[in-house]
Amino acid sequence: MAENLALPSPSDRTKKEGTKSLILTLGMLTLLSAVVGGGFGLSIVSSIEKRVEEKYNALPQQPIEKSAYTGDVTLKKLAPVVTNLAGSETDWVRLEASIVYKGGIEFNPDVVAAEARQDVLAYLRTVSLAQIQGPSGLLHVREDLNERAKIRSNGLVQELVLETLVVQ
């Protein structure tokens, strides 16, 4: 019986204590690195915020320009226009737009919207794919459609706003 109650050898104790101290050291280093990293991150964020605020305050303050759409203006969405482009049976275009008009004027906006949609359809059937490619092509389409909408409505429509233009 005395043989089973033998005390652990000193090498077992040092291994257990070494393992405990290693785990404790690693835990302390992890905690220390988390604190240092968090502090560093907070200092970087505050310095970036300072620089952004300094640059914003250094910018010259420009007066706010009045919008052309003040007062009683209304937006009327047109039904989507789907048609093929000129000179091609395979190139199709879908355009969604809205008209902007003054709300206090006596006229029927549904009629004006239908006429504007007809004009958009007629115009898109005369345009080729090369004419609407790129930003300058889109700008020309927008300007042409705006002009047509203003002429068709006798100046009641302020602008025709292109919402989407998809070409397949």
Q: What is the CATH number of the domain that holds 121?
A: 3.30.479.30
Instruction: Kindly state whether residue 44 falls inside one of the protein's structural domains.
Output: yes
Instruction: Kindly state whether residue 120 falls inside one of the protein's structural domains.
Output: yes
pTM: 0.58
Residue 131 vs residue 12, higher pLDDT:
131
Show the tokens assigned to 80.
């989507």
Structure confidence at residue 5 (pLDDT): 58
Instruction: Kindly state whether residue 39 falls inside one of the protein's structural domains.
Output: yes
Bridge partner residues of 157 (DSSP): 101
- For CA atoms 106, 108, 114, 118, give the dihedral sign: negative
Show the tokens assigned to 111.
């009629």
pLDDT tens string 123-158: 999 999 999 989 999 999 999 999 999 988 888 888
Phi-psi sector, 35: left (phi>0), alpha (psi -120 to 50), beta: alpha
pLDDT tier, 62 (very low <50, low <70, confident <90, very high otherwise):
confident
Distance in angstroms (rounded) separating the CA atoms of residues 100 and 109: 10
Query: Residues 63-82, buried b or exposed e (16+ Cβ, 10 A)?
Result: eeeeeeeeeeeeeeebeebe
Same-domain status, 130 and 151: yes
Same-domain status, 95 and 160: yes
Same-domain status, 102 and 144: yes
Distance in angstroms (rounded) separating the CA atoms of residues 124 and 30: 66
Same-domain status, 99 and 26: no
Same-domain status, 58 and 84: no
Q: What is the number of domains present in the chain?
A: 2
Type of residue found at 86: A
Same-domain status, 14 and 87: no
Structure confidence at residue 162 (pLDDT): 93
Same-domain status, 133 and 80: yes
Structural domain span for residue 39 = 9-62
pLDDT tier, 81 (very low <50, low <70, confident <90, very high otherwise):
very high
Same-domain status, 17 and 55: yes
Distance in angstroms (rounded) separating the CA atoms of residues 112 and 117: 9
